[in-house]
Structure 1
Amino acid sequence: MSPAPRAVAILAALALSALLIPIGIVALLALALVGAVAVDARAARRAPQVQRRAPEVLSRGVPAPLKVTATAPAGGSVRVRQGAPASVEVTPREGESLDATVVARRRGRHVLPAVATRATGPLKLARWDHKASEPTTLRVFPDLHTARRLALAVARGRFRDQGATARGPLGLGTEFELIRDYEPDDDIRQVNWRATARLGRPMSNHYRLEQDRDLILLIDAGRLSTAPLADATILDAELDAAVALAFVADELGDRTGTVAFDDEVRVVLPPQRKGGQAVVRALYDLEASPVDSDFELAFRRAEGSKRALVVVLCDLLEEAATRPLVRAVPVLTRRHAVVVASPSDPALEAIARAAPTDRLSHARATVANDVLAARARAAAQVRAAGARVIEAPPEKLPATLVAQYLRAKSRAIL
């Protein structure tokens, strides 16, 4: 319990009035104030009824609604305050009620504390602080919004890769299905010239992509993946891309498997149909470890499956750090089509491109260009080992990998 500002102001006024009126009267008034504060505190002591509607599941970086309402004591008032851990933002945090948004900046499990309330009595002389509700555990997943958007675009034929539209989950495909009227977005290779001549109008061969293919996601959760990138980490960018690929594979009827690793194998999911949600549940709270990753150990866990598109998500920092990856790539390329995907750093590229204005900016640009050159050499070594290398900023990596996946299917690489 604490006195409200009104009680403090009245007490200060009584203290000043002691200079003008008899002290006995001031004492009686002070006693009356104490009694009124006690009565008001008794009313404020009753805990207000609080209702909180908080999401149990969020996607990293995607706002979600949070509502808190409270019923004040009779004649009184109440304010609520919602605390949050450092990795979770609640806006606004305080008010008579809250119609707020909550944004989690990190994946995993986070505890949203109980709502704190401050009830003020009907006389507005006393306040009482309460803890209402119970702490809530928030499960923060990778960026499901982007994953679902890309999967829906592929399913509806609206996925665009650098201006080209992949019509439905079909592309050029590898299995003939039917002959239909030519459409403006059809590839010229689809035109059936014999049917066109016979019917007098352009006709196209319609192919469908083969299903029941395997997509294996190998996720490096070692030391290099702990590095910060934008407002997240390298591992966050890797998982956002992995989830997007898994959701698109679900739409295309393929099987998705996952191996997450550092110096040991930490997660193994065998290829399965509709594996997207399994990937999310298995990896959403995965944290990178400050150890060097054992690529060969992880790759041997994936080499025994049937031919698949294997996507290795890792950071291509420089040649020395990439050497274990380069040595391990042939373990996979003997049987599988291998893509090594690495999130690039737009901030680093901006520093490298910026025109220096002083000695410090010149030094920064020199270092940035050295880092980018080292990454390029590392990527070249990986390509020489037999893998395709894809680099893209974190926000573009999911779509870039989806485009590569669709190309692999349409060209029968899988």
Structure 2
Amino acid sequence: MSPTARGALALGAAALSALVLPPVLSVFALLAVGSGIVVDALGARRAPEVVQELPGILARGVPARLSLRSDSDGRAVRLRQPRLADVAIEPQEGDGTLDAQVIGLRRGRHTLPTPAARVVGSLGLGCWYHRPGEPREVAVYPDLPGARRLAIAVRTGRFRDEGRRSRGPLGLGTDFESIRDYSPDDDVRQLNWRATERLGRPMSNTYRVERDRDVVCVVDCGRLMAAPLGDRTRLDAAIDAAVAVAAVADEVGDRAGVLAFDREILRRLAPRRAGARAVVQALFDIEPRPVDSDYELAFRHVGESKRAFVLVLTDLLEEAAARPLLAALPLLA
């Protein structure tokens, strides 16, 4: 309970009236104004019902809509949604309703504070502050729109550099299929020199694009990944890349998995079909820790599985940091 700006001005005017009125009248005026403020505030004591609409999942850096609605019953209600350091809200206040943009600035789980409501009495002299509702948890995911755009580009055949000619989906493939006559559009790597020499004319190998591959993203979460990279960290960039790779794997029919590590294994997800959602769930709340990364430990766990395409996402700022990685690489062979 507190006076409004109008109530404060009325109290000030009653106090100044002592300069021109007898003391008894001034005291009476102060009591009258003070009583009016109390009575007015008590009339605003009933808490309004506030309905909050907010997605439970945000993508880092992507605006989402926050809506607050109150049943004011004719009363003047000022709504405010407190913000967090890692979740931006603009604007934060509104009269009766609040339509705002919410932007998750940092991956992970965050709890938005309970909205605040200031109800003003019918006289406009006093108000009552309420905290209707409950705190709201939101999950801030990596850059999902970017991953979806990449997957759509692969699906529609637009995943190539501008001006370069497409030669089939995602390269030549590695599974040998047959030998045929050479075509001018063939890549020189397709030439079968033994068949060309034997038959006396150019011959080419044809390959099938591999399907049902296992794709494993190995994400370093050690101290070097905490270094800033624009408006994010290197770990943010690595997780964005892992999510994009998993989305493309879903699109082309591969199985996606992930392993996150520093000096120990933090998360491990075996490759699976339609694994992009599981990869996001496994990585979105991981933060870098101030420890050195154990590449040998991570590669030993990856080497236990069957043949797979392994993508290591790390950052090597100095030559000394690359030595443990190079020493551990034979474990992936």
TM-score, structure 2 normalization = 0.86
Secondary structure of the 2:292 match is coil
Aligned residue runs from structure 1 range 194-233, under 5 A: 209-233=209-233
Residue of structure 2 equivalent to 1:409: none
Residue of structure 2 equivalent to 1:76: 75
Conserved? CA contact 2:58–2:104, under 8 Å: yes
Do residues 325 (structure 1) and 329 (structure 2) align?
Answer: no
Structure showing the higher helix proportion among its residues: 1
Going from structure 1 to structure 2, the CA distance change for 1:135 and 1:166 (only over 3 Å counts) comes to farther
Secondary structure of the 2:235 match is helix
- Deviation per CA, 1:143-172: give whole Å up to 9, x if none: 111001100111111223354365885655
Residue of structure 1 equivalent to 2:272: 272
2:91 aligned partner, one-letter code: P
Residue of structure 1 equivalent to 2:43: 43
Secondary structure of the 1:45 match is coil
Shift of 1:61: 1.1
1:284 aligned partner, one-letter code: F
Equivalent-residue separation in structure 2 for 1:244 and 1:42 (angstroms): 56
Residue of structure 2 equivalent to 1:145: 145
Shift of 1:65: 0.8
Q: Could you list the runs of 5+ residues in structure 2 that have no partner in the other structure?
A: 178-182, 188-204
Equivalent-residue separation in structure 2 for 1:165 and 1:275 (angstroms): 31
- Deviation per CA, 1:369-406: give whole Å up to 9, x if none: xxxxxxxxxxxxxxxxxxxxxxxxxxxxxxxxxxxxxx
1:77 aligned partner, one-letter code: A
1:93 aligned partner, one-letter code: Q
- Deviation per CA, 1:45-84: give whole Å up to 9, x if none: 1111111111110111111111112232x44311111112
Going from structure 1 to structure 2, the CA distance change for 1:163 and 1:100 (only over 3 Å counts) comes to farther
Equivalent-residue separation in structure 1 for 2:120 and 2:13 (angstroms): 21
Aligned residue runs from structure 1 range 32-111, under 5 A: 32-72=32-72, 74-96=73-95, 97-111=97-111
Equivalent-residue separation in structure 1 for 2:235 and 2:78 (angstroms): 39
Aligned equivalent of 2:185, options 185, 188, 195: 188
Secondary structure of the 1:8 match is helix
Residue of structure 1 equivalent to 2:200: none
Aligned residue runs from structure 1 range 365-384, under 5 A: none
Residue of structure 1 equivalent to 2:284: 284
Going from structure 1 to structure 2, the CA distance change for 1:171 and 1:320 (only over 3 Å counts) comes to closer
2:212 aligned partner, one-letter code: D
Aligned residue runs from structure 1 range 125-136, under 5 A: 125-136=125-136
Residue of structure 1 equivalent to 2:295: 295
Residue of structure 1 equivalent to 2:16: 16
Conserved? CA contact 2:14–2:33, under 8 Å: no
Equivalent-residue separation in structure 2 for 1:63 and 1:150 (angstroms): 20
- Deviation per CA, 1:81-106: give whole Å up to 9, x if none: 11122111011111212211111111
1:304 aligned partner, one-letter code: E
Equivalent-residue separation in structure 2 for 1:7 and 1:31 (angstroms): 13
- Deviation per CA, 1:350-378: give whole Å up to 9, x if none: xxxxxxxxxxxxxxxxxxxxxxxxxxxxx
Shift of 1:11: 1.8
Residue of structure 1 equivalent to 2:260: 260
Equivalent-residue separation in structure 2 for 1:64 and 1:166 (angstroms): 37
- Deviation per CA, 1:269-311: give whole Å up to 9, x if none: 1111111111111111112111111101110111233332211
Conserved? CA contact 2:42–2:128, under 8 Å: no
Conserved? CA contact 2:111–2:137, under 8 Å: yes
Equivalent-residue separation in structure 2 for 1:44 and 1:232 (angstroms): 45
Shift of 1:124: 0.6
Secondary structure of the 1:18 match is helix
- Deviation per CA, 1:118-148: give whole Å up to 9, x if none: 1111111001111111111111111111001
Equivalent-residue separation in structure 1 for 2:31 and 2:256 (angstroms): 75
1:89 aligned partner, one-letter code: A
Going from structure 1 to structure 2, the CA distance change for 1:254 and 1:166 (only over 3 Å counts) comes to farther
Going from structure 1 to structure 2, the CA distance change for 1:208 and 1:217 (only over 3 Å counts) comes to same
Conserved? CA contact 2:11–2:34, under 8 Å: no
Residue of structure 2 equivalent to 1:193: none
Conserved? CA contact 1:158–1:168, under 8 Å: no
1:151 aligned partner, one-letter code: A
